[in-house]
Amino acid sequence: MLVKALLTLTCAGQFMVLLDNTIVGAALPDMQQRLHTGLTGLQWIVDAYVLLVAMLLLSGGVFADRFGRRRVFLAGVVVFTAASVVCSLAPSIGWLIAGRVLQGVGAAALSPASLALLAAAYPAPRERVRAIGLWAGFSGIGLAAGPLAGGILVASFGWPAIFLVNVPIGAVLLLAGLRVLGESRNPSAPPIDVPGTVLSVAGVGAVTYGLIEGGARGWTSPVILGSFAAGLVLLAAFVVVEARVSTPMLPLRLFRQRLFTVSNTAMVVVGFALMGSSFFFSQFFVYVQGTSILAAGLQTLPVSLAMVIVSPYAGRFAARYGFRVVVSIGLALAGLGLLALSFVHADTGYGNVWWRLAVAGIGFALTMSPLTGAAIQAVSPQEGGLASGVSSTTRQIGAVLGVAVLGAIVHTRESGGASFESGLNSAFLAAGAVTLACAVFTGLWLTAARTPRGVRAEQPGDQAVSERSLTTPPSRPTS
């Protein structure tokens, strides 16, 4: 009974985190109107959260192993819930962004700790796989429910409601967790890589600042050029530090494996194109086609529904046909779907829009779990958890860059006199072109150059190996 209660709690925690990923998109038009902000402010509302999740995800898993999975999970719930209250009460865009930063910190603790608790509670491999499948299923439900729930809440109560919905969920998780969850930790967990964590947050944050603010301040302004320069210096320092410390948060030696490097490069593109384009879906329906916020939430559902339906089969396809075939086809479909969206206009009927969203969603669904599986298979079995964590992190980094870069494209087009609709067409075109180029890249290079010691080379029909790679619980759990 206690184990089932733990399963319910961890799944509910992950559901809350993933719901927040998509529910905010439905509220962006209302936020823009009520907070009197522009495109740059909306970019920060999204990227402030995603940036912190991306940069703290690996450290969150180490924290859970080292200091106690129950303790970190409950701390993440408290921070995430309190931050949601801050967001809902935010009187200005600055307060809302600050609340989103805190939400990112909470999510980076809550999500990996929930998976760590689950893995510890189900030591039997078969039961553990089923439990992780349910955990992942709740993640998909959270993603799919976001647009619809966001549209209903915003239409009925305004944008603060999308954050207040987290409060009762968080309160139940905290009270039930205090009663149900038992503590567990890994005594041999590595120490926290504080310098690497700080440098990664600062470096990616500086580059993100330049990309988001460049359109408004001017790409050649001293502040923007300085932010890019500072970001490059900080990221170079990060590489130096990670190469020298004994327990780096990101072991650079993993990138000597071609399969690992190519899969994570492709995952950056997936995050870039998926999150960057999703940022504009609701805005397209509201500002270009003139629909209501509730209708926009419903109209964006084909993407998330396609991902929820297709994602469970992606691993099976990869086990049968190989990572390279499935990922390349998925990226090609996603790229074609985004290119098709670049030709949608204000007078395009929804019957000629939804299938473009669905094609993009199917394509992205075919890529994510096979790319994670490829990254895991590229390293030794003992480093599978770390490889999974790096894969999640690279996807989040791509998401940060996607919102920043595609937003910069729209902002630059508008500054040059083009309409918002034309700017969106250019953004979708750029996302589609990058995704199609990545499909060619993976088609050529998503193979193992050599087999690491203790790891078998991938065979298209080697279902047992591939499925184990996709479902083995990580030693450094991540979302």
Contact between 466 and 373 under an 8 Å Cβ cutoff? The reply is yes
Distance CA 460, CA 45 (A): 42
The answer to which of 90-104, 146-160, 201-215, 382-396 has the lowest mean pLDDT is 382-396
Give the three-class secondary structure for 181: coil
Length of the chain: 479
- The b-or-e profile of 121-134 (16+ CB within 10 A means b, else e) is bbeeeeebbebbee
For residue 474, the model assigns a pLDDT of 40
Q: Over 70: is that where the pLDDT of 463 sits?
A: no
Per-residue confidence at 467, pLDDT binned at 50, 70, 90?
Answer: very low
pLDDT at 17: 86
- Position 217 scores a pLDDT of 87
Span 41-90, pLDDT tens digits: 999 999 999 999 988 888 888 888 888 889 999 999 999 999 999 999 99
* Cα 4 to Cα 265: distance, rounded to the nearest angstrom: 37
pLDDT at 465 (0 to 100)? 37
Which of the four pLDDT bands, split at 50, 70 and 90, describes residue 449?
Answer: low
**19-28, 128-137, 253-262: which is most confident:** 253-262
State the angle between helix axes of 2-34 and 258-283 in degrees (0 to 180), rounded to the nearest 10: 50
Cα–Cα distance for residue pair 364/367, rounded to 1 Å: 5
Tally Cβ neighbours within 10 Å of residue 414: 16
Confidence at 1, pLDDT banded by 50, 70, 90: low
Mean pLDDT of 429-438: 98
Report how far residue 467's alpha carbon sits from residue 218's, in angstroms, rounded to the nearest whole number: 49
Per-residue pLDDT band at 129 (split at 50, 70, 90): low
Whether the pLDDT of residue 305 is over 70: the answer is yes
Mean pLDDT within 327-341: 97
What is the C-alpha to C-alpha distance for residues 54 and 67, in angstroms, rounded to an integer?
21
Amino acid at 201: V
Is pLDDT of 338 > 90?
Answer: yes
User: At residue 409, does pLDDT exceed 80?
Assistant: yes
Q: Is the pLDDT of residue 349 over 50?
A: yes
Q: Token pair of 136, please? A: 């992942």
Instruction: At 334, list the tokens.
Output: 């996603």
Measured at the CA of 307, the angle between CA 304 and CA 310, to 5 degrees, comes to 150
For residue 306, pLDDT over 80 is answered with yes
The dihedral sign for the CA sequence 84, 89, 94, 96:
positive
Residue 464: pLDDT band with limits 50, 70, 90 = very low
